[in-house]
Chain A
């Protein structure tokens, strides 16, 4: 592979997140390097999705610091995280059901569209030019994900596997620095998983996008990720190369139980 893993792009230090009395995350630290594929694994309820929500500003941790490209990040709303280049897909597909595939992916370009509302209302030169320029970019993504034939279909009518692909497309339309993928392969058959892996690796390779991935399929995780962090009950119990993590006694205990 041509890509080179760079410096630390996102550094999470001592993150703790509580909902009332429930501790979702306790004192978790790990970092993400530029251009790498970083997997977060752990049993159900371990706090993986909460971790992603902390990273893109949906949840605000009570304790801990987050450094993005070396600068400490203050309290942050999701749309601000988006404007700094953090995109994500969702575990339970969160597409805009009433809109076509094309429009869904076009919404991913929102932050890059600058023309004002009056120009849009009259569909005047700059607004129209902008619309066409972004359409061109979106068509590139559509080609990349091989979904040309469904571009005008409302997403509500698509099968699950394709919806997952559109979800990825919408995130890619933001041209993110960091792409957070929340179980991109859940509920897919082997073939669909292979396709999705190929897309993820291509994104990483061609665009140099840093990828943070939550996934339950261990085969996939061990194959495609550069480093893995393991959570259990909101605590970090492992962090390292896939092989190291796989042979760590604590991780085996969390997954298989103490008796094994």
Chain B
């Protein structure tokens, strides 16, 4: 009853091209953002910030980047972890090697470096597609794993092979406490989500989707496949690179190449598949699913055991966690192969007519 668009008339094309064409959507999302900025810092405790909220935000950003490439442009990638690593190490080197480099500048330059490398590793996409492309992007992963482990220059010749960043500050604002780190990441996420949305509703986004849906027809109407594919790789790697830099700087503080292993690449790909390919919202839902569910199960299972009078060992919990997690993924993929975001879209479509569906 509350969710309907009766009486909301569009009289200009500008009004019809807004991000949220239905007023209720707009207020809902603004409400969520306001809640995230104002209420969450007061409500959440340190554990929530460190273990859940910050990883969720940063991985959402990375998933968003992967989704632009895989979901919107249809180019499958298994190299997302590598581009996170490139973003993190490049930002680190910009920060320590250039005097007076501001934090945000370093993060963005890290993203740009990652974008450059993304274009390089995106070149095979001009000739191969599907699984073959996935294998080609896997090369980026192994190359970066090797480079950051073996080439000492990248890690500033640190003897342990790990690098660390401390004293994060932006224009005098010291990003120190978990709540501040959370707000810092949230700011990035909101801006990047807006950018992603704008790109996907503009001509570049239509070019990506055209290449994804029918590449021959796209070329015939004048879309240059090289430009469309490589720009998708660049933008996607930029997002993923910035996320990697945030992951290193803000979440980990000090890290080594193992933080960005091939596991991370798979995790990001799963996020967009479960969340919903070709959906901005899906990137967030997928990240939430993969970050939060294991933690939830970890807490919930012993509690459930206690309720039933059983003692469940930690080993059993971690095994059960994997089993339940895996079966839930299978369950959701069978119920809705287009991802959780599609479930949400269907619910909204039903709500628009409810309670008079005919």
Contacts and interface: CB of A to CB of B under 8 A. Distances in A.
A80 to B, nearest CB: 9
Interface stretch (B44-52, B90-98, B199-207, B293-301): B199-207
Among A56, A120, A128, A171, the one with the most B-chain Cβ atoms within 10 Å of its Cβ is A120
Contacts, number: 106
A174 B222 contact: yes
B210 A111 contact: no
A52 to B, nearest CB: 10
Interface in A64-123: 77-79, 81-83, 87-88, 90, 94-99, 103, 106-111, 113, 115, 117, 120-123
B216 interface: yes
B13 A132 contact: yes
A121 B222 contact: no
A108 B217 CA distance: 10
B195 A98 contact: no
Contacts of A253: none
A94 B202 contact: no
Contacts of A170: 221
Contact size class for B?
A: 20 to 34
Main secondary structure of the interface of A (DSSP, over half): helix
B319 interface: no
Interface residues of A, number: 41
Q: Chain A CB within 10 Å — which of B16, B212, B219, B220 has the most?
A: B220
B213 A110 contact: no
A251 B231 CA distance: 50
B198 A88 contact: no
A107 B203 CA distance: 7
B220 A96 contact: no
A92 to B, nearest CB: 10
B195 A122 contact: yes
Nearest to A139: B13
Nearest to A129: B14
8 contacts: A94-B216, A110-B223, A117-B204, A128-B17, A131-B17, A131-B202, A132-B13, A136-B13
B278 interface: yes
B192 to A, nearest CB: 10
A135 B209 contact: no
Given A117-B199, A120-B199, A121-B199, A171 B221 contact: yes
Contact of A132 (B17, B203, B204, B223): B17
A120 B221 contact: no
Interface string A148-185: 00000000000000000000001100100000000000
A27 to B, nearest CB: 26
B221 A110 contact: yes
A126 to B, nearest CB: 11
A99 B206 contact: yes
Contact of A78 (B12, B198, B219): B219
Given A79-B223, A120-B202, A132-B13, A96 B195 contact: no
B214 interface: yes
A99 B218 CA distance: 13
A99 B213 contact: yes
Contacts of B14: 128, 132
A74 B319 CA distance: 64
A121 B202 CA distance: 8
Contacts of A122: 195, 198
Contacts of B16: 135
